Amino acid sequence: MKSYREELWFQTKERREFLNITPQVERVLQQSGIQEGFVLVNAMHITASVYINDDEAGLLQDYEQFLERLVPQAGTYRHNLTGEDNGDAHIKRQIMGREVVVAITNGRLDFGPWEQIFYAEFDGRRRKRVLVKVIGE
Amino acid sequence: MKSYREELWFQTKERREFLNITPQVERVLQQSGIQEGFVLVNAMHITASVYINDDEAGLLQDYEQFLERLVPQAGTYRHNLTGEDNGDAHIKRQIMGREVVVAITNGRLDFGPWEQIFYAEFDGRRRKRVLVKVIGE
Amino acid sequence: MKSYREELWFQTKERREFLNITPQVERVLQQSGIQEGFVLVNAMHITASVYINDDEAGLLQDYEQFLERLVPQAGTYRHNLTGEDNGDAHIKRQIMGREVVVAITNGRLDFGPWEQIFYAEFDGRRRKRVLVKVIGE
């Protein structure tokens, strides 16, 4: 069994942003040389998500609006009594998820027609990391 | 390390449906011949989920009602300005999740007493796929 | 490829509780002797979650409050017509997730600075299990 690991760094301009990171993950997969196995892609920070869905601008706004309606940034959170202001971001990240596991087949991400990997930032404007770990043969 | 892959195809009669796909995943696992490892089961489409919970008819109605109350099909979604009518389905799928990873032990799904694998369709009535990828030995 | 498996047992005093189980998972990982690979940690019961986020007391109360507001224990659930009283717990668990997959690098959980593994119980006060399965080399 082979394994390979790389970190991707991001710094968004806005507090909340959605970034399509599929090309970066594909590049890591090529680097790994692994043909059959799994790749794990996870946020290493706890106020951001990695998820898979469509790269359509309207949909990204729908996600933003849905999450902000359900868990408003300006809501009341006990976590913010610690001096933080990102209580909402910890909850938004749980709804969208921490990680994806993607099958690797013939050296490629084994995807359906519209699957794209996104990094969803809910408390950005600082350098944060995503882990890409590949295992297989 | 061995690996094995199969696609399962589904076409639901209703727009939204919950299908217990545990027997199909078990069959793929037997085909793989893998005794120890992981199986990844994921929707290959972005308006459907794969998740694990109980196969109880009332619960499936509770999920349907909860999701429809939170993200109504008839709501306003920017995604639908593209001509699609499934903005709600993209959000429902995020809440229920894309994938499950299940341990394989002694050639079996390593499950607790009530765990069952479900395919949750939120925009059905057409042929859609689930990927089953097994790695191990 | 090596694999290793252990079950962790929990019995909470309250119906709903959040337990940081990172030390137990690290101990299993040491037992496994695996240096590079993946560890899967999943609830084996369908009214509990395993998730990764911050170990901060206020945040845990925020999660509890958010989930109870969205899916009240005293709400009306068809599942409860079976004689159960945990319809809410099955939905709460879906929002928080069933499982995490964590990369193993140099024999350690490959974590960002604040990542901690939690067992979230939504219908406790009885013995329930978490599966830890490690694969790699």
Give the CATH number for residue C69. Answer: 2.60.120.460
Chain C neighbors of A82, CB-CB under 8 A:
56, 58
Listed in order, strand segments (DSSP E) in B44-115 are 48-53, 99-105, 108-109
Residue B61, CA distances (Å) to B10, B114, C69, C97 in order? 20, 18, 20, 19
C55 CB burial (10 A radius; 0-12, 13-18, 19+): middle
Confidence grade of residue A86 (pLDDT, cut at 50, 70, 90)? very high
Provide the 10 A C-beta neighbour count for residue C13: 8
Query: What DSSP letter does each residue of A52-101 carry, written as one string?
Result: EE---HHHHHHHHHHHHHHS-TTS--GGGGGT-S-HHHHHHHHHH-SEEE
As for how many domains chain B has, the answer is: 1
Confidence grade of residue C80 (pLDDT, cut at 50, 70, 90)? very high
Flag if C46 and B96 touch (Cβ within 8 Å): no
Mutation target among A79, A80, A81, A85 for the C interface, most CBs of C within 10 A: A79
Spatial neighbors of C19 by CB under 8 A, at least 6 apart, are C10, C12, C118, C119, C120, C121
What mean pLDDT do residues C94-115 have?
98
- Interface residue A98 vs chain C (CB under 8 A): yes
Instruction: Give the one of C66, C100, C114 whose C-beta lies nearest to A99's C-beta.
Output: C100
Share of chain C above pLDDT 70, in %: 100
Confidence grade of residue C73 (pLDDT, cut at 50, 70, 90)? very high
DSSP state of C65: H
Flag if C78 and B95 touch (Cβ within 8 Å): no
pLDDT digits (tens, 9 = 90+) for B2-31: 999 999 999 999 999 999 999 999 999 999
pLDDT at B128: 98
Residue C112, CA distances (Å) to A7, A131, C17, C25, C57 in order? 11, 9, 24, 16, 19
pLDDT at B58: 98
pLDDT at A66: 98
Which of A102, A84, A94 shows the shortest CA–CA distance to A120? A94
| Cβ atoms of residues C64 and C16 within 8 Å | yes
Confidence grade of residue A112 (pLDDT, cut at 50, 70, 90)? very high
Residue-averaged pLDDT of chain B: 98
pLDDT at C3: 98
B window 1-60, beta carbon within 8 A of A: 1, 3, 5, 38, 40, 42-46
pLDDT at C50: 98
Confidence grade of residue A24 (pLDDT, cut at 50, 70, 90)? very high
Residue C108 belongs to what domain range? 2-136
What mean pLDDT do residues C35-42 have?
98
Share of chain A above pLDDT 90, in %: 100
pLDDT digits (tens, 9 = 90+) for A25-82: 999 999 999 999 999 999 999 999 999 999 999 999 999 999 999 999 999 999 999 9
- Interface residue A129 vs chain C (CB under 8 A): yes
Spatial neighbors of C69 by CB under 8 A, at least 6 apart, are none
Which of B49, B55, B27 shows the shortest CA–CA distance to B114? B55
Confidence grade of residue C92 (pLDDT, cut at 50, 70, 90)? very high
Flag if C3 and B37 touch (Cβ within 8 Å): yes
- What residue in C sits closest to B137 (Cα-Cα)? C1
Query: What DSSP letter does each residue of C15-61 carry, written as one string?
Result: SSEEEE-HHHHHHHHHHHT--SEEEEEEESSTTEEEEEE---HHHHH
Spatial neighbors of C103 by CB under 8 A, at least 6 apart, are A5, A40, A42, A131, A133, C38, C109, C110
Chain B neighbors of A95, CB-CB under 8 A:
94-95
The ipTM, to two decimals, is: 0.98
Residue-averaged pLDDT of chain A: 98
Spatial neighbors of B28 by CB under 8 A, at least 6 apart, are B4, B6, B8, B39, B132, B134
- Interface residue C105 vs chain A (CB under 8 A): yes
pLDDT at B132: 99
pLDDT digits (tens, 9 = 90+) for B70-129: 999 999 999 999 999 999 999 999 999 999 999 999 999 999 999 999 999 999 999 999
B82 CB burial (10 A radius; 0-12, 13-18, 19+): middle
Confidence grade of residue B46 (pLDDT, cut at 50, 70, 90)? very high
pLDDT at C40: 98
Contacting subunits of A (3+ beta carbon pairs below 8 A): B, C
pLDDT at B95: 98
